[in-house]
Amino acid sequence: MPSFAHRFEESLHRAVAYANARKHEFATLEHLLLALTHDQDAEEVLKACKADIKQLRKQVTKYLDEELTSLITEDEDDAKPTAGFQRVIQRSVIHVQSSGREEVNGANALVALFSERESHAAYFLQEQNITRYDAVSFIVNGKQSVKSVSPTLVKDELPTEENPSFEMFVSYAWGDDTPEGKLREETVEKLCASAESRGLRIIRDKDKLKIGDSISEFMRRIGSGDRIFVILSDKYLRSPNCMLELSEIWRTSKQEGSEFMRRVKILTLPDAKIRNPVDWVRWAVFWKESHAELESLAHEHGIGILGEHGHRRLLQMHTFYTQVADILGTLSDFILPKTFEDLEKHGFGDLAK
């Protein structure tokens, strides 16, 4: 079994100390990330990936001070590592062991953090344009600097027999018995039929997911799709699952408007109010209030009451209210399809028939 490098042990103690200093009941991935920015081995990776380490420390510190107030407790015991924190350590050990090495260090933990894709720790790293591929490349090859672009961002080939890996998805709020719900379902049915008539295939959750499949894994797969048709509606903007898909697309586009719009083909239905900054802010307020309601319950009864999935949803809501105005603002800066026929031309016009 690999042992921990002395510097890494110090980083783990430092992460818990950061939580204790703030009277946090739990030591989270963000406490760990802040500790790793002071870990020599992890710092070398960050520098090689051209991260602004000072800015990263500032962002994470602000998050710990302002966004985790629900973790504050009067209990004087040491903070307990969250399940995510423990998974990162376990993953680091497994990776080191499988590579035949004998010591786990901060660089290994930094790489393992990327697998916690829904955490703010991973989000902060992505904001620095650091990828897991970059970090691993430096550890394996020892390059002085690494600069890569995510394969999703550079893959510009269209679907052909030689490129069957090109994937198209549709992201939408499921239909219901209301007129708006029937319109959403009808639009998606027509879209999938239109694709099939062109010899193309749109991957749809209702067709792909089976009993026992992970919904969140499928949503992340949508976020990494080559082309995603988004049927934007009022229900979509109120749905945590739909918003997670949209935020994943935004994240994997590295929050760049042109890349986001290259991959996404959007049809805005009549009930979706996204025309101006007032609308954008109202949606941000909607998610901020939803976040505050859940956070208030956690603060009143203890963060442990949320469980792992509840805590993850709390983090997602924070992401929604901090990003939704930027996403909707980006949409307003581009000419979008106004009719289903426009969506067909815009979404399929450049694809092989």
SS3 164: coil
Kindly give, in sequence order, each residue whose CB lies less than 8 Å from that of residue 168, ignoring residues fewer than 6 positions away: 159, 195, 200, 201, 202, 203, 225, 226, 227, 228, 229
Q: Which domains does the chain have, with CATH numbers?
A: 3-148 (1.10.1780.10), 168-348 (3.40.50)
How much is the CA Rg of the chain, to the nearest whole Å? Answer: 22
pTM, 2 dp = 0.63
pLDDT of residue 143: 54
Copy the structure tokens of residue 246: 């949209």
Dihedral (Cα; 313, 318, 322, 328), 10-degree rounding = 20
- For 117, other C-beta atoms within 10 Å of its C-beta total 16
As a whole number, mean pLDDT of residues 71-90 equals 91
According to the model, what pLDDT value does residue 148 have?
A: 45
pLDDT at residue 352 is higher than 70: no
Map residue 261 onto helix, strand or coil.
Answer: helix
One-letter amino acid of 26: F
What is the chain's length? 353
Residues 172-208: tens digit of each pLDDT? 998 788 999 999 999 999 999 999 888 888 998 877 8
**Which helix (H) or strand (E) element contains residue 1?**
none
What token pair was written down for 11? 């980083």
- The pLDDT tens digits of the residues spanning 256-302 come to 889 999 999 999 999 999 999 999 999 999 999 999 999 898 888 87
Mention every residue, 6+ apart, whose C-beta is less than 8 A from residue 187.
172, 231, 267, 269, 340
The average pLDDT across 6-25 equals: 96
Q: Are 11 and 81 in contact (CB under 8 A)?
A: no
Q: What is the pLDDT of residue 161?
A: 42
Query: Which two three-digit tokens encode residue 144?
Result: 């002085």
Mean local confidence (pLDDT), 124-147: 75
CA distances (Å), 105 to each of 12, 153, 204, in order? 10, 30, 41
What mean pLDDT, rounded, does the chain reach? 87
- Residue type (1 letter), 99: S
CA dist 308 to 65, 85, 256, 304, 342, Å? 21, 11, 30, 8, 42
State mean pLDDT over 143-160: 43
Distance CA 30, CA 71 (A): 13
